[in-house]
C-alpha cells in the first residue's frame, strides 16, 4: 500500500543556495514546503565544497602570508610563521559545519521539511525520494523547483586521480602543500585556490587556453590582475591547451600545446588542479517523466524560471546565467514569489562578480569590450588605489576603480574594481545601477574619509573629468 506522504505546495530538489533560499522564502510566505537534499548536510556546493571552505582557506592563507611578509615592515616581530595545515583545515571544517547547521535551524524556523535522500521527478506533481537505506517515498507537489546545481567539468585526457589530478573539492582538502601545483584554467577557481596554495608555499603555474585571465572580465582589469598575481609569484602559460596527463609515483606529467596550434611539450607537477568550469547536474532526476529536455550543454532552459512544463520550475547553476550563489538566491526568491502570486523578477545585468584573491576583483554591469561590441557610446572615469589615502596608509596600493557611464545620459553601465575590499565596495555600484543612477549620483554623494570607497567616488568624478585627488 502506498505511503500516506504529505502533499506540499512546493517541493524543491537540491539544498544549495538556490534550494535552501527557495525553501526558506516559501516557508515565510506560508507555503507548505519541503527540500530534498541527498548530502548529509544542507548548503549545497557553496557551503560544503565551494564558496565557504574556499573563503576560509583564502582568509587563513592571506593572514599567513601577511604574518610572514608584511609584519616586519609594520614593525611587528613574531618570528617566521609556521604552517599548521591540519589546524587550518579543521577551522575551515568547523566553520562549514556551523553554517550548514545554521540552514537546518532556518528550515525549522520556517517550517520547511528536509526530505533526506536523492530526489527524482516521478511524473507531473510527484517527487520520489530514495533514502540512504533504499526506502522510497513519493510526495505530491503542486510545484516542483529543480535546484540540483552543478559539478566540475572534467577535461578529456586528464582523468581525476585522488590527490594527484584533482578538482576544486580535492584542492580544498589537500593534506600537504604540493611542491609544484599546476592549475588548468585561469578562471575564478584556479586563481582563488591557486592563490591559497601559493601563499602556503607551493610553486604555482596556471595553464590557460585563452590569452586573458578571469573568464570574461574587463580586459584592462584582466591585464592588471594577471600582472599582480605574477608579481606575487604565480606563473602563467597563456594561450595553451592541455591534451593529456600521465600520473606516476613522482607526480603528473601534462602534455601541452599552443592553443593556436604548434609543437607539443610536457610539463611536470606534483599535483594538478583541473578548474575549467562547471557543468549542470541533472543525473537521475527523472526529467523525462515530465517531458523536460536539457540543451546541448546539459542546462535546463527557463522562461522567468518556468521550465515550460506545468508546475515545474528551475533555478541556480542548473539553468542559464552566471553560476554564482547569489544568482541562485535571486532565482529562488523570484520563483517562489511568482508561485505565491507575487511579481518575482531578476535583473541578470546586475549580478555582481567577485574574485576573492588579494587584492580582490569585483565588477557589475558591462565591460568596456561589451559596450564597444554593442556600439554603445560611453565615458570612463578611473582612479588608482595608489592615490587613495586609506589604501596608501595600509600599503595596499595595487589596482584601480573604473566607472563606465552612458555618454549621453550619464547612467552607470558598468563598474570594475581591482583592489582591496573590492567585493565589499561593488554593492555601492550595484545599488546605484539598480536605481538607474548616474555617475554624478556617486560623484556627488558624500563618502567617509579615509576609506577605500573614496576611490569609487573619485573614479565617478572622473567620468565628467573632475577627479580631484589624482
Ligand atoms: P548547488 O549549490 O550545487 O546545490 C545543489 C544541491 O543539490 C547539492 O547539494 C546536491 O547534493 C543536491 N542535489 C543534486 N541532485 C539532487 C537530487 N537528485 N536529489 C537530492 N539532492 C540533489 N559562488 C559565489 O557566488 N561566490 C563564491 O565565492 C563562490 N565560490 C565557489 C568556490 C568553489 C570552489 C566552487 C566549486 C563554487 C563556488 N561558487 C561561488 C559557486 C557556487 O557554489 C554555486 O554557484 C552555487 O552553489 C549554486 O547553487 P545551487 O543551489 O544552484 O546549486
Ligand atoms: P571559469 O569559467 O571561471 O574559468 C575556467 C577557465 O578555464 C576559463 O578561463 C577557460 O578559458 C579555461 N579553460 C577552459 N577549458 C580549458 C582547457 N581545456 N585548458 C585550459 N584552460 C581552459 O570556471 P571555474 O574557475 O572552474 O569556476 C566554475 C564556476 O564556479 C564559475 O562559473 C564561477 O562563477 C563559480 N565560482 C565562483 C567563485 C566566486 O564567485 N568567487 C569562486 C569559485 C567558483
Q: Domain segments of the chain: what residues?
A: 2-152+280-348, 165-276, 359-463
Q: What is the mean pLDDT of residues 256-271?
A: 97
Q: Which residues contact 222 (CB under 8 A, 6 or more apart)?
A: 212, 213, 214
Say yes or no to pLDDT of 362 above 80.
yes
Instruction: Count CB neighbours of 134 within 10 A.
Output: 7
CA 468 / ligand 1 centre spacing (Å): 44
What's the CA gap between 28 and 107, in Å, rounded? 10
Task: Give residue 1's pLDDT.
Answer: 46
| CA contacts within 13 A on the Cβ side of 427 | 4
Task: Give residue 91's pLDDT.
Answer: 98
CB-CB contact of 125 with 116 (8 Å)? no
Say yes or no to pLDDT of 34 above 70.
yes
CA 425 / ligand 1 centre spacing (Å): 25
Q: What is the mean pLDDT of residues 374-384?
A: 98
pTM, entire model: 0.98
Q: What is the mean pLDDT of residues 50-54?
A: 98
Which of the listed residues 185, 264, 278, 299 should we mutate to test ligand 2's pocket, taking the one with most ligand atoms within 8 A of CB? 185
Ligand 1 contacts CB of residue 307 (under 6 A) = no
Q: What is the CATH number of domain 165-276?
A: 3.50.50.60
Ligand 2 contacts CB of residue 215 (under 6 A) = yes
Catalytic residue among 59, 304, 416, 449: 449
Task: Give residue 188's pLDDT.
Answer: 98
Ligand 1 atom 36, closest CA: 50
| CA contacts within 13 A on the Cβ side of 153 | 16
Q: What is the mean pLDDT of residues 243-250?
A: 96
Task: Give residue 369's pLDDT.
Answer: 98
Which atom of ligand 1 approaches the CA of 120 most closely?
A: 18
pLDDT digits (tens, 9 = 90+) for 58-78: 999 999 999 999 999 999 999
Q: How far is CA 376 from CA 74, 408, 414, 460, in A?
A: 46, 10, 12, 18
Task: Give residue 3's pLDDT.
Answer: 53
Which atom of ligand 1 approaches the CA of 317 most closely?
A: 52
Q: Which ligand is nearest to the CA of 190?
A: 2
Q: What is the CATH number of domain 2-152+280-348?
A: 3.50.50.60
CA 213 / ligand 2 centre spacing (Å): 10
For domain 359-463, is the CATH number 3.30.750.24? no
For the chain, what percent of residues have pLDDT higher than 90? 99
Q: Is 59 known to be catalytic?
A: no
Rg, Å, the chain Cα set: 24
Ligand 2 contacts CB of residue 325 (under 6 A) = no
What's the CA gap between 346 and 330, in Å, rounded? 6
Say yes or no to pLDDT of 99 above 60.
yes
Ligand 1 atom 27, closest CA: 51
Helix (H, G, I), strand (E, B) or coil at 332: helix
Q: How far is CA 271 from CA 57, 179, 195, in A?
A: 18, 8, 15
Q: Do 165-276 and 359-463 share a fold? A: no
Task: Using pLDDT thresholds of 50, 70 and 90, give the confidence band for residue 215.
Answer: confident
CA 230 / ligand 1 centre spacing (Å): 30
Q: Which ligand is nearest to the CA of 206?
A: 2
Which residue in 135, 45, 41 sits closest to 97, CA to CA? 41
Ligand 2 contacts CB of residue 258 (under 6 A) = no
Ligand 1 atom 35, closest CA: 50
Say yes or no to pLDDT of 81 above 80.
yes
Ligand 1 contacts CB of residue 168 (under 6 A) = yes
Which atom of ligand 1 approaches the CA of 151 most closely?
A: 3
Cell numbers linked to 234: 604565480
Ligand 2 contacts CB of residue 37 (under 6 A) = no
Say yes or no to pLDDT of 49 above 90.
yes
Q: What is the mean pLDDT of residues 180-192?
A: 98
Amino acid at each position: 500500500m502506498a505511503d500516506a506522504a504529505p502533499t506540499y505546495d512546493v517541493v524543491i530538489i537540491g539544498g544549495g543556495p538556490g534550494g535552501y533560499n527557495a525553501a526558506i522564502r516559501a516557508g515565510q510566505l506560508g507555503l507548505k514546503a519541503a527540500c530534498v537534499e541527498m548530502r548529509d548536510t544542507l548548503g549545497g556546493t557553496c557551503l560544503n565544497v565551494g564558496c565557504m571552505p574556499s573563503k576560509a582557506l583564502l582568509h587563513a592563507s592571506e593572514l599567513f602570508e601577511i604574518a610572514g611578509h608584511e609584519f616586519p615592515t609594520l614593525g611587528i616581530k613574531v618570528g617566521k610563521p609556521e604552517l599548521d595545515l591540519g589546524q587550518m583545515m579543521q577551522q575551515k571544517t568547523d566553520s562549514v559545519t556551523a553554517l550548514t547547521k545554521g540552514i537546518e535551524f532556518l528550515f525549522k524556523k520556517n517550517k520547511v521539511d528536509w526530505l533526506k535522500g536523492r530526489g527524482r521527478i516521478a511524473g507531473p506533481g510527484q517527487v520520489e525520494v530514495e533514502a540512504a537505506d533504499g526506502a522510497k517515498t513519493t510526495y505530491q507537489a503542486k510545484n516542483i523547483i529543480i535546484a540540483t546545481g552543478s559539478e566540475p567539468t572534467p577535461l578529456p585526457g586528464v582523468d581525476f586521480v585522488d590527490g594527484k589530478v584533482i578538482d576544486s573539492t580535492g584542492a580544498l582538502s589537500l593534506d600537504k602543500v604540493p611542491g609544484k601545483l599546476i592549475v588548468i584554467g585561469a578562471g575564478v577557481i584556479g586563481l582563488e585556490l591557486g592563490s591559497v596554495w601559493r601563499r602556503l608555499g607551493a610553486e604555482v603555474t596556471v595553464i590557460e587556453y585563452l590569452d586573458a585571465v578571469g573568464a570574461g572580465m574587463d580586459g584592462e582589469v584582466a591585464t592588471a590582475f594577471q600582472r599582480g598575481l605574477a608579481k606575487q609569484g604565480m606563473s602563467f602559460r597563456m594561450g595553451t591547451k592541455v591534451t593529456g596527463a600521465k600520473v606516476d609515483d613522482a607526480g603528473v606529467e601534462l602534455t601541452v600545446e599552443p592553443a593556436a596550434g604548434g609543437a607539443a611539450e610536457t610539463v611536470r607537477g606534483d599535483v594538478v588542479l583541473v578548474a575549467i568550469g562547471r557543468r549542470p547536474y541533472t543525473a537521475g532526476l527523472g526529467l523525462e517523466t515530465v517531458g523536460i529536455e536539457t540543451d546541448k550543454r546539459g542546462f535546463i532552459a527557463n522562461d522567468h524560471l518556468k521550465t515550460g512544463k506545468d508546475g515545474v520550475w528551475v533555478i541556480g547553476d542548473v539553468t542559464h546565467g552566471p553560476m554564482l550563489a547569489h544568482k541562485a538566491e535571486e532565482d529562488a526568491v523570484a520563483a517562489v514569489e511568482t508561485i505565491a502570486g507575487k511579481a518575482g523578477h531578476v535583473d541578470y545585468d546586475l549580478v555582481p562578480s567577485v574574485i576573492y584573491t588579494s587584492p580582490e576583483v569585483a565588477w557589475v554591469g558591462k565591460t568596456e569590450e561589451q559596450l564597444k561590441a554593442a556600439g554603445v557610446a560611453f565615458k570612463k572615469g578611473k582612479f588608482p588605489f595608489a592615490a587613495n589615502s586609506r589604501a596608501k596608509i595600509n600599503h595596499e596600493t595595487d589596482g584601480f576603480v573604473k566607472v563606465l557611464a552612458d555618454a549621453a545620459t550619464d547612467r552607470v553601465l558598468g563598474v570594475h574594481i581591482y583592489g582591496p575590499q573590492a567585493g565589499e565596495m561593488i554593492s555601492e555600484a550595484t545599488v546605484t545601477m539598480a536605481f538607474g543612477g548616474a555617475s554624478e549620483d556617486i560623484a556627488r554623494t558624500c563618502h567617509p574619509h579615509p576609506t577605500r570607497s573614496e576611490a569609487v567616488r573619485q573614479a565617478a568624478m572622473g567620468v565628467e573629468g573632475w577627479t580631484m585627488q589624482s
